[in-house]
């Protein structure tokens, strides 16, 4: 594996990290269509726990774990993220086809009052499956957040001891967030408090402080959890989505941690591509997408993965692994 200059620069940002962990980061950064570009595109199929089997009603092929492995393989994504037994149900057939990340904890919408995450897999499980990393969700703003933070630190330390990186889903949720009265500078409401810019920025920063190698967050809106928070942001450019993405990246150690953004619920392809363009222009490192891929027919899903990758590959002065090899030949 010939590592590109872009990937080497990203790895250099992880000062003090074990070489074995950096090797796993290099694996995903040098995999798939975006290999070597410094951008990442993960396919995540962990929604069955949170939303139930209704997640797959629009595309019944999605009830099969093999279907999602094949999407990840044929779509040439950087990595595939899923729960324990979902991965177990396809790992033998697709062994070595795509880097895997085991999502350790999950929630359920059957208990919506106060969101909670429960571990249903272990770091040892990820090691046994041959995963490159583990995924872990935290809910800053929930009553259980202090416990989640302790569990995260233990998870990061254990995963690191085995040479695996940790991806942290940092979602501001819980009574302390949902009870807030969002402050909109332009007077436009309608967004959930959990999409407030200051809440997402704070959550992403805490994920980095707790040891996250990669942070996943939702795309933020141009509003805040309170007027006081809005006043604090007077000096921060927040008007466009790319401005807000850039701020989130800054909050993750000045961009020295990989920050990926959620694809969210199913939407029109052009809308998703527009979001990807804003993420790229704002300096985001890529996306973790699930429902926008597997809730579409397979042919359409594979095409959309390619379109997203091509949008991310439009890098100013950047190079992919393929272009690097071409340059070397000349």
Mean pLDDT of the chain: 91
Chain centroid to Cα 287, Å, comes to 6
Residue 292, burial from CB neighbour count under 10 angstroms (0-12, 13-18, 19+):
buried
219 close to 248: Cβ distance less than 8 angstroms:
no
Residue 297 DSSP label: -
Place of tokens 């694996």: 27
* Residue 97 burial (C-beta neighbours within 10 Å; 0-12, 13-18, 19+): middle
Closest by CA position to 67, among listed 306, 305, 297:
297
Contact 202, 210 (CB under 8 A): no
- Alpha carbon distance 281, 274 (integer Å): 11
CA distance 43 to 101: 10
3-state secondary structure of 118: strand
In the prediction, which pLDDT does 171 show? 95
The whole-number pLDDT of residue 330 equals: 34
CA 128 to chain centre: 23
Give the tokens for residue 304.
């959309």
Among the listed residues 129, 131, 124, the one whose alpha carbon sits nearest the alpha carbon of residue 155: 124
Nearby residues of 47 by Cβ (< 8 Å), 6 or more positions away: 55, 290, 291
* CATH superfamily membership of 41-315: Aldolase class I (3.20.20.70)
Question: With a cut of 50, which residues of the chain have pLDDT below it?
Answer: 316-330
Cβ–Cβ < 8 Å for 35, 312:
no
C-alpha–C-alpha distance, residues 239 and 217, integer Å: 19
Res 182: pLDDT: 80
Q: 217 in helix, strand or coil?
A: strand
pTM for the structure as a whole:
0.92
- Given this model, what pLDDT does residue 35 score? 98
Residues 30 and 36: beta-carbon distance below 8 Å: yes
What count of other Cβ atoms lies within 10 Å of the Cβ of residue 25?
23
* pLDDT score at 314: 87
């Amino acid at each position: 594996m010939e590592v590109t200059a872009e990937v080497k620069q990203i790895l250099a940002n992880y000062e003090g990290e074990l070489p074995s962990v950096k090797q796993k980061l290099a694996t995903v950064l040098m995999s798939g269509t975006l290999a070597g570009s410094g951008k990442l595109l993960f396919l995540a199929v962990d929604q069955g726990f949170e939303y139930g089997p209704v997640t797959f009603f629009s595309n019944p092929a999605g009830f099969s774990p093999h279907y999602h492995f094949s999407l990840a393989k044929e779509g040439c994504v950087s990595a595939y993220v899923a729960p324990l037994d979902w991965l177990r149900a396809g790992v033998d057939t697709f062994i070595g086809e795509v880097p895997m990340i085991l999502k350790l904890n999950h929630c359920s919408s059957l208990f919506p009052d106060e969101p909670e995450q429960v571990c249903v897999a272990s770091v040892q499980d990820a090691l046994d499956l041959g995963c490159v990393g583990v995924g872990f969700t935290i809910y800053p703003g929930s009553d259980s957040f202090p416990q989640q933070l302790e569990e995260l630190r233990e998870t990061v330390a254990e995963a690191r001891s085995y040479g695996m990186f940790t991806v942290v889903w940092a979602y501001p949720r819980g009574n302390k967030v949902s009870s807030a009265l969002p402050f909109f500078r332009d007077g436009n409401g309608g967004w959930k408090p959990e999409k407030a810019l200051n809440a997402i920025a704070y959550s992403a920063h805490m994920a980095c402080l707790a040891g996250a190698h990669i942070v996943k967050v939702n795309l933020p809106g141009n509003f805040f959890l309170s007027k006081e928070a809005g006043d604090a942001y007077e000096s921060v450019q927040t008007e466009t989505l790319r401005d807000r993405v850039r701020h989130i990246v800054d909050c993750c150690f000045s961009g020295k941690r990989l920050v990926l953004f959620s694809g969210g619920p199913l939407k029109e392809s052009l809308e998703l591509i527009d979001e990807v363009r804003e993420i790229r222009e704002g300096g985001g490192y890529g996306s973790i997408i699930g429902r926008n891929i597997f809730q579409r027919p397979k042919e359409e899903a594979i095409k959309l993965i390619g379109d997203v990758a091509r949008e991310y590959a439009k890098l100013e002065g950047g190079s992919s692994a393929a272009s690097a090899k071409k340059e070397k030949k000349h």
